[in-house]
Chains A and B, each alone.
Chain A
Amino acid sequence: MKSIIVEVLGMLLSFWLFLTPVPRAQADVVNVLGIWSGSELRDFQDVVSPWEQKTGHTMAFVSTRDLNAVLTTRLEAGDPPEVAILPNPGFMHELAENGKLAALDTILDMNRIKRDYASSWLDLGTHHGKLYAIFYKATNKGTIWHSPKNFRAKGYSVPKTWEEMMTLSDMIISQGGTPFVIGAESGAATGWPLTDWIEIILLNQFGPEIYDKWVDHEIPWTAPAIRRAFETLGRIVHTPQYVYGGPAGVLATNFINGTYVLYTKPPGAYMNYIGGFAQGFIKKQYPNLRPGEDYTFFPFPIIDPRYAGGVTGGADVIVITKDTPGARSLIHYLSTAKAQEIWVKKGGFIASNKGVRPDTYPDVIAREMALQLANTEIFRFDGSDLMPAMVNDSFWKAVVEYVNNPTGLDEILQSVEEVAMEAYGK
């Protein structure tokens, strides 16, 4: 019944579109496919509306949580949206390889782009020498959240090194508290918060060279460095009382709910390593907490001083899946500092464009996160997002298995290695 109504409405709509005269010759409807919904989508629409007013084009945002499936289907059906906003560049490379994307070199003013974007971002968006993607909404994944108020109440100080963090953890346990909360549950994507842990540990423990080799599968998953990174995480999840709910708690706690645990009374835990986007969850759940005083983050602690300050992060990437004048105009607009500042002011957005001024950020935490990203000498993109989807899935699964089964690490890494051998073909 419902589908009949939808169909009838659809028919009426298409008639209406057919009969309505097009106001301006150049006006396009630009369909944008992305995962944003709710407040994120509203913010994005606010970013886009000046562009709509200026150019006469309109944007129609299609929101889906199942982006890969929807985009694959639409591309196969020959009905792609004009623009897609992918949550990571891994899928972008695959699409570029299959010739599904428009190269941006000839569409955008490359001199301006090179001035506005750090070369690391441009390299990530380049496939076989051509730029295919603009990195847009950046995420800082070098943040350990905590409550300065709770720390003060117990006389704890922010740890600078990994060993200090372990000493602090033992102290918290001796006083009856729980040092960490890790929420790894995320529906069909369960496990990603744990892969973030492994990535930042690996980067800070063995440095960017090993990290890059690992991402490109030039070292096997069974390599000692990878093993060490898993075991370092294991020290937290498998030591009794270190983590909220023990291993089962890690796997059963949702990543969003996990961010709330620090602010209950008494606190369910004292530290939570999760990306900068956690601020959005905390703000929404506890609107009265003051950023910087009641909650904030400290940078991931130093493991090896040579790689101090290593930060991982992510970003949404914008690609053109159907080359039209409207799509070109939109991607040009979104890449400018002016457009990005609109969202920066609203919060929850770290700009990829260097031209965005630091004082545009709405609070101290957002500014600190942007500065940490801008100032670090060792920045690496979230490794799992750069891997082929098969390996990424297998990595998620591997950390989940490892948390559940501490003694099976060799077999677990071997099974990821087998998937990687096939996916990378080397």
Chain B
Amino acid sequence: MYMGSALFFLTVYLIYPIVNTAYLSFLGKGSKAFTGLGNYWYVFTNADMLGALKNNLLWLVLFTSITVSLGLVIAVLTDKVRYEAAAKAMIFLPMAISFVAASVIWRFMFEFRPAGIPQIGLLNALLSTFPGIQPVAWLVNTKVNNFALIGVGIWIWTGFCMVILSAGLKGIPLEILEAARIDGASEWQIFWRIILPMMRTTIIVVATTMIIIVLKVFDIVYVMTNGNLGTEVIANRMYKEMFNYHHFGRASAIAVILLLAVIPVIAFNVRRFRAQEVVQ
């Protein structure tokens, strides 16, 4: 009985959409004619799509490595101070803001006015206090715009990594750390030789979660640049194919590819998570 209702909802809300999406991905624009692998061919040959794939890779590398390592550093550092809760709350706060709102806030941070006119964007206002430095159009300048967007993602998600990693950190038995200290290990050695290996599972779970999130990254790009000037990502491209061009086939093909890319990560994550539960 209980199983039945769960299966029912899984079928209606998960399995049916997946199967239908996969089916649509082999059909053309109006979902009538069969086009074989045409939509997939498009995804991997179209110049805009290739740019999006490249940017997703950049996001994947920078976003995942920085959120996880920054989260870990903050977790370890705040663990030792009296105002830990306050410090962690500050870092975690951006998580409470919706991504769209966060993106809007950051658009103000990145706001650009021509040189000589009072800057209202915080970053350019800071730059303008140094004589001789020109304001930067953060979202327009193709040298920095991708990094500006990734920075916003990091700002939002670091708090999440920190909280999980901090919980993992608290899970390390104090006796082990005490013993190491008595044996004369420096804090640096404790971090590298004890904390890091013991938190390995947690770090991997957090990192894989971040990978899943980054593959789906959409809101920030959609709100801040809509993929203009070389900032396109695949999820935004999927949205455009679907809602702007009404090409359900291509949108579905992108969705299927995203799903396939995420599945191994999820499988790995679930296995790791189980392993971790056994350890604890």
Chain A residues in the interface with B (C-beta under 8 A): 66, 68-69, 72, 94, 98, 187-191, 244-246, 248-249, 251-253, 268, 388-390, 393, 397, 400-401, 404, 415, 423
Contact = CB atoms under 8 A, between A and B. Distances in A.
B132 to A, nearest CB: 17
Contacts, number: 65
B243 A248 contact: no
A407 to B, nearest CB: 14
B228 A389 contact: no
B177 to A, nearest CB: 39
Nearest to A191: B228
A187 B223 contact: yes
Contacts of A245: 112-114, 137
Given A390-B245, A393-B240, A400-B229, 11 more contacts: A66-B243, A68-B244, A69-B243, A72-B246, A245-B114, A245-B137, A249-B113, A389-B246, A400-B228, A401-B229, A404-B142
B226 interface: yes
B234 interface: no
A111 B78 CA distance: 77
Given A190-B228, A268-B117, A397-B228, A252 B112 contact: yes
Interface in B216-249: 222-223, 225-226, 228-229, 239-240, 242-247
B228 A252 contact: no
- Among B47, B139, B140, B222, the one with the most A-chain Cβ atoms within 10 Å of its Cβ is B140
Contact of B245 (A253, A393, A397, A404): A393
17 contacts: A69-B243, A187-B223, A188-B226, A189-B226, A190-B226, A191-B228, A248-B112, A249-B112, A249-B114, A251-B229, A252-B111, A252-B139, A253-B112, A268-B114, A268-B117, A390-B247, A404-B229
A158 B64 CA distance: 56
A246 B113 CA distance: 10
B11 interface: no
B159 to A, nearest CB: 21
A393 B140 CA distance: 18
B141 A98 contact: no
B245 A248 contact: no
Contacts of A98: 30
A389 B141 CA distance: 26
A244 B244 contact: no
B141 A248 contact: yes
A251 B137 contact: yes
Contacts of B117: 268
A230 B263 CA distance: 46
Interface in B54-104: none
B254 to A, nearest CB: 15
A248 B143 CA distance: 13
